[in-house]
Chain A
Amino acid sequence: MNDKKWIITGLVVFLIIVLFPFWYNRGKAVPPPEIKLTDKAKAAKECVLSKEYMKAEHMQILDLWREVVVREGQRIYTNPKGKSFVMSLSNTCLDCHSNKADFCDKCHNYASVRPYCWDCHIEPPKEKS
């Protein structure tokens, strides 16, 4: 039991190191990014499904689309409102949301997710806005 002081010191040092990011960054919360919509997206009013769904679950629908298009060869998606879309990331999603940097990347960077879509799928050419 003679090592008590070493153990306590060690624990304190450990806690300081582990908690360092928290106190170092306290009060400096990065504001969540604001999504910019293109004029085309604004004019369309609603995406494939409701805004709330798309915000939270767009990766689910993209996953479904990729599965269904590639593996089953079904390419047309008709939403509950009866509107049809060609299931294509580059040609349908990015047709409206052509501002990838402001629309996709901003949030993904904020949330530190790195989808690998763009290793293969082609970004729309930069538009002058």
Chain B
Amino acid sequence: MDTSRRRVLQLLGLSAAALSAPPVLDALAAGPPAAEPKIGTAKEALTAKQWAMVIDTRQFKKEDDVLPLIEACHKIHNVPKIDFKRWEIKWIWSTHFEHAFTGTTSTRFISEEIAHRPFLVLCNHCENPPCVRACPTKATFKRPSDGIVMMDFHRCIGCRFCMAACPFGARSFNYRDPRPFVKETNQLFPTRMKGVVEKCNFCNERLAEGKLPACVEASAGKLKFGDLFDEKSEVRELIKTNFTIRRKVNLGTEPAVYYIV
């Protein structure tokens, strides 16, 4: 087919005209940019650089003083109550001074009052958490936004390396399906399944709604919660004005739970 230069130019002109017709232009251009869905946090959410807790153990005299706190936590997080020790699940529990602070301070010949005092222990949300380094799936991780050592139960494969790595025994493994052992289920929080590890999450789901952790709320001021890296925070003030100890600091994990003894 013979095509003259004139014909080519005519065709080009026509194509240009056709392309610039409004419907075609609309189709080619993306149109007005569609609004993107946005993801954020609630306005009332509490934030910090590193959440920390100060436990005033002087105010806990006997076991009955700590039970309501443990109860409050375990109830809202659907923590199963299994009496058989090897299958036990605990997020926060109480222990004796000599068990909580072995290696931290001398536990020999201590005052009887301290020896009988219940010491609340829970995940320390270490600044340098060994469990996070041990986890092969990154199911447990340190949240960069506020320093909470979190568990992503979706990812946990139940290898229990984290339990071996944690020097505080803060983690429990679900040897059994926990559901039959949860008496009253909190509909707002999931349970776990057989084969995953679980531990205290510093109530991150409550912080996101602007509420303090359940144990702190139930403690009526005996537990304080705040930002460790905020000089003006209540926890910093308490640490500054009181002598505090932490569990196994010599291991270098930098626990974020402080005890006034």
Contacts and interface: CB of A to CB of B under 8 A. Distances in A.
B8 to A, nearest CB: 45
7 closest A-B pairs by CB: A80-B35, A119-B193, A78-B38, A120-B190, A121-B190, A70-B152, A74-B39
B39 A77 contact: yes
Interface residues of A, number: 27
Interface majority SS on A: helix, strand, loop or mixed? loop
A75 B15 CA distance: 51
Interface majority SS on B: helix, strand, loop or mixed? loop
Interface residues of B, number: 29
Contacts of B153: 120
A126 B114 CA distance: 50
Contact of A72 (B36, B45, B145, B193): B145
Contacts of A124: 187
Given A76-B41, A90-B188, A66 B154 contact: yes
A122 interface: yes
Nearest to A64: B39
A94 to B, nearest CB: 10
26 contacts: A70-B152, A70-B154, A71-B141, A71-B143, A71-B150, A71-B152, A73-B208, A75-B42, A75-B208, A76-B40, A76-B41, A77-B37, A78-B37, A78-B40, A80-B35, A82-B35, A87-B39, A90-B187, A90-B190, A120-B191, A120-B192, A122-B78, A122-B187, A122-B189, A122-B190, A124-B187
Nearest to B178: A120
Interface of A: 49, 66, 68, 70-82, 86-87, 90-91, 116, 119-122, 124-125
Interface of B: 34-42, 45, 78, 141, 143, 145-146, 150, 152-154, 185, 187-193, 204, 208
A76 B210 CA distance: 13
